[in-house]
A and B are shown apart, each in its own frame.
Chain A
Amino acid sequence: DTGVSQDPRHKITKRGQNVTFRCDPISEHNRLYWYRQTLGQGPEFLTYFQNEAQLEKSRLLSDRFSAERPKGSFSTLEIQRTEQGDSAMYLCASSFMAAGNTIYFGEGSWLTVV
């Protein structure tokens, strides 16, 4: 068990550019979550997958954001036409399916839009 892995850990991009983050969940976890955390705030839920199906999206997930989990393993989160307000840490997490199961988080991917 190597834990949830995220890449890159840090990304600096110019406003208007596209960025993509990758998440590798704990193996055999069938649920994968994306959260966003800004300074001074708790993590905010963005979306989650059960296997390859995206089952829920937060209203925070504007149409510039897209997430995929094509084979039910790793996931990508793409932000198109980045804005300064997108600067945050993007956290990926995974768990088994049952609601009482623990959600385990990765180290996060820091995005700075300049």
Chain B
Amino acid sequence: AQSVAQPEDQVNVAEGNPLTVKCTYSVSGNPYLFWYVQYPNRGLQFLLKYITGDNLVKGSYGFEAEFNKSQTSFHLKKPSALVSDSALYFCAVRDGSGGGADGLTFGKGTHLIIQP
């Protein structure tokens, strides 16, 4: 079975400071990893993904994420936070080896609050 852990329910960051939203995963095969963002009462918007290749992945709105195989982590980062980044962030995993469920398995989400 595959799973995702987002250890922080909420992350508070001052505007202009760097931010990190943590994610660790468990999957039996090759991990395909995704980050999505959700604004209130809206669906999920895709930010970025890691499939293979460079461990540092760049995505939308200045976000990036670093894949660390030894630590089974895929933390989301941004060098300088904006108030408009305040939202709910979800990490998700899929087994790229063809085993397990085909659908994405999501973490519980992390509320990111950027303070002016």
A residues at B contact (CB < 8 Å): 4, 6, 33, 35, 40-45, 48, 55-56, 58, 91, 93, 99-100, 102-108, 110
Contacts and interface: CB of A to CB of B under 8 A. Distances in A.
| 8 A-B pairs closest in CB distance | A42-B106, A45-B103, A100-B51, A105-B44, A107-B43, A105-B43, A108-B43, A43-B106
A103 B42 CA distance: 16
A41 B96 contact: no
Interface string B40-56: 01111110010110000
B105 A45 contact: yes
Contacts, number: 65
A42 B43 contact: no
Contact of B102 (A4, A56, A105, A107): A56
B116 interface: no
A97 to B, nearest CB: 10
Interface residues of B, number: 28
A24 B79 CA distance: 37
B69 to A, nearest CB: 17
B104 interface: yes
Nearest to A102: B46
Interface of B: 4, 32, 34, 36, 41-46, 49, 51-52, 90, 92, 94-96, 98, 101-109
Contacts of A99: 32, 94-96, 98, 102
Contacts of A48: 102-103
Nearest to B32: A100
21 contacts: A35-B103, A40-B109, A42-B90, A42-B106, A42-B107, A43-B90, A56-B101, A56-B103, A91-B44, A93-B44, A99-B95, A99-B102, A100-B32, A100-B51, A100-B96, A103-B46, A103-B103, A104-B46, A105-B43, A105-B46, A106-B43
A51 to B, nearest CB: 14
Contacts of B102: 48, 55-56, 99
A76 B59 CA distance: 32
